[in-house]
Structure formats: structure tokens, C-alpha cells
Amino acid sequence: MPLAVVLVLLGVFATGAGLGRSVGDPLQWATAAGGGAEPPARETVAAPAAPRPVRLTVATVDINAPVKPVGDAADGTIDVPPLSRHEETGWYDRGPVPGEPGPAVIVGHVDTKSGPSVFYDLHKLRVGETVEVQRADGSVAVFTVDSVERFPKDQLPADRIYGHDGPPSLRLITCGGQWVGGATGYADNVIAFATHTETRPA
């Protein structure tokens, strides 16, 4: 996995998507890179031709939320919806569209100072349950959950999360574990891995 990809993932997911923190408030690149490093240059990826996702539905854990595109934050990490729109999810639009080849990534906050947020119950997902992503043309990409796993933020499996190749799949990501505060927020990330099952036409 290229170092740039690993640093980008550490930058976005090592910050707290939770209690009073914004994932867009990045972990310092010097910390992620071992000291003093500037954000590495990233290749520009053309906008996908497939219709973008507009709504995420996971009936078993009561998720029914709008999906908005997010790109790169100013420092090169992946951006997320602001805490003022914490019930909204963010699709990383430099990666695949859900239902197209490769792992699509959707991120969301777990909570805020006022209470639970959009991905508060993500950890309750079970293997075999269904995730649906409605797209702008009315089609629905359907996924089946393969696993729900928790990783320390400094041990994320970047090669399983990010890419443009391989069969269509989905990663839903939020924070979890113990709240440690500071630049880290929560100690871990909760990631639901899902495989594309079908795309229902509009």
C-alpha cells in the first residue's frame, strides 16, 4: 500500500468522529509520518461517471440518512460532514461510487455533545444484514455485511479500506472504543465491511 494512501487514511480516521469533535480536524501530519513530514502529493482522480449516492439505509440499526459527497480536506486528509450536519453521512468522492468496482467509503459521526449521531449503532450490525445505497438516478446498490470490526486508529488495515480495483464493496466507518480526547478523540474505528449483492434499477 503506498505511503500516501496510508497517511491519508490515518489522517482522516485517527481524528475523532465523535464527542464534540470533527473528523475534518486532522491529526497532525508530523504525528502520522513520524515527525516533520508535509502531506504527500495525491493523484487527481476523475469524477466517476456512475450516479452518486444520495441516501444510505440500514434498516436493522435504524440508519436512514442522506449521503453527501466529501473530498479532501485542506491538509490532504478525507473530509467529512461538519458536526452541524452530524445526521448526514459523507461519501468519499475520490473513490468508487457504491455499486461500482472497488471499495466505496462512507463515513459518519458516532455522536456529538448533544447525544447519538448517524452511525451511533453501526457496531450493532451483524453478518448477513443488508445495506442499501440509493443513487441519484433512483437505482439502489444493495450490499451484504461481511464483518464489523474495530481497529486501533494507528493499526488501520489500509489495504482493506481504500482502492479503486476489485469487486464492488462498501466500507462504513465511524469511531468507537474508549474516549481518550486530545487529537485522537476515540481510540478506535469501527468499520463495517460489505459486499455488493445487486443493483436494483430505478
Rounded Cα gap, residues 81 and 89, in angstroms: 7
Q: Is 9 helix (H, G, I), strand (E, B) or coil?
A: helix
Q: How far is 32 from 39, CA to CA, in rounded Å?
A: 10
What local confidence, expressed as pLDDT, does residue 145 receive? 98
Half-sphere exposure of 69 (CA within 13 A, CB side): 15
What is the topology classification, in CATH, of domain 3-40+51-200? Sortase; Chain: A; (2.40.260)
CA distance 135 to 55: 7
Angle, CA 33 vertex, CA 94 and CA 153 arms, to 5°: 70
Phi-psi category of residue 173: left, alpha or beta, with phi > 0 → left and psi -120 to 50 → alpha: beta
Residues 6+ apart with CB under 8 A from 181: none
Instruction: Give 2's pLDDT tier (boundaries 50, 70, 90).
Output: low
Q: In the chain, how long is the greatest CA-to-CA distance? A: 50
Q: Report the distance separating Cα 91 and Cα 170, nearest Å.
A: 10
Q: Mean per-residue pLDDT for 70-83?
A: 74
Place of cell 478525507: 78
> Considering only CA atoms, which of 66, 144, 143 is closest in space to residue 98?
143
Pairwise CA distance, residues 68 & 53, whole Å: 8
Using CA atoms of 60, 53, 177, 164 in order, give the dihedral in degrees to the nearest 10.
120
162-197 pLDDT, tens digit each: 888 999 999 999 999 998 887 778 889 999 999 999
Model confidence at 43, in pLDDT bands (50, 70, 90)?
Answer: low
**Cα–Cα dist 25/169, whole Å:** 27
Mean pLDDT of the chain: 79
Q: Model pTM? A: 0.79
